[in-house]
Amino acid sequence: MIPMTSNVSFVGRSFLNRRSRPSSRSEFDRHNAAFCISEVSPRQVRTLRAGESLFLQGDKVRSICVLREGWAFRYQCLEDGRRQIVDFLLPGDIIGIGASSQMLYGVEALSPCTWITVSRESFLVKLSQDPALSIKLVNILSAGQLRAFEQMTSVGRRTARERVAHLLLDLAKRVQRSVSDCERIEIIMPLMLSHIGDALGLATETACRCLGELKRAGILVFGAGRLEIRDFEGLSDLVGVLDEKEGDGEAQRLVA
């Protein structure tokens, strides 16, 4: 049985009545996610509906793909059909970089998506001509590596409730350009319980129970494609992370 305990007590936690604000990063990325590959040609634009795949695990992909709009996720499947979501993709994220053109993962759209694609060869030429772009790419890959470390820690050591809280906190920080603990945060988040379970190695029922506990504690409400964080400080305390300073997330994207 997965332990449900935590080193943070929910007893007596009051509801923090803070001013609400909508997410702002998606609008920012909608105008800027064409980023520096706008100068790379030829390039193509590809749209996907929710549930459609950009490519499947094992496919050969010779293009660099940047998510311009929407949400998607990377996943790996075992032979018996079990799925592990390894990362959620937001506008500005880049995929397809690697020594091999054969993908070890698949990519599926969580919501209607727009992708910008360029050939790998053209992108590498652009990197050699633009050192600033190369530095941004290193920052993106570094941020992805750090997320992978956190994911490994969550699956290996965090309790079920801590895993759910950490995932939602991480996504909220990636979506929101700045996060302040004096405001309530509302974010459109097109995840279902099955996505949370597949990302964290939890049964759907366990993920649902954890969300219920967080709601009853007045920390967050998740449902119907929307996340409302009512107590950002309490959520950060629960998962044991420090709030990032405003602007830190900007270096993690190939966005102007």
Q: Looking at the predicted structure, is the pLDDT value of residue 86 above 50?
A: yes
Q: Could you check whether 27-130 and 142-252 share the same CATH topology?
A: yes
* Whole-number average pLDDT of the chain: 80
For the chain, the domains span 27-130, 142-252
Contact present, 160 and 166 (Cβ < 8 Å) = no
CATH topology of domain 142-252: Jelly Rolls (2.60.120)
Q: In 10 A of CB 27, how many CB atoms?
A: 12
What is the structure's pLDDT at 4? 39
What is the structure's pLDDT at 127? 86
Tokens describing residue 5: 């305990």
pLDDT band of 28, cuts 50, 70, 90:
very low
Tokens describing residue 72: 């998607």
Give residue 135's Cα distance to chain centre: 21
DSSP 2-53: -----SS--TTPPP---EEEE--HHHHHHHHTTTGGGGSSSEEEEEE-TT-E
Give me the residues paired with residue 118 across strands.
43, 64
Q: In 10 A of CB 110, how many CB atoms?
A: 22
Q: Report pLDDT digits (tens) over 93-134.
A: 999 888 788 999 999 999 999 999 999 888 888 888 888 888
Tokens describing residue 167: 């995932």
User: Exposed, middle or buried by CB within 10 Å (0-12, 13-18, 19+), for 92?
Assistant: buried
**Domain over 27-130 is classified CATH 2.60.120.10:** yes
Q: Where are the alpha helices (DSSP H) in 62-221?
A: 120-129, 131-157, 160-175, 193-200, 204-216
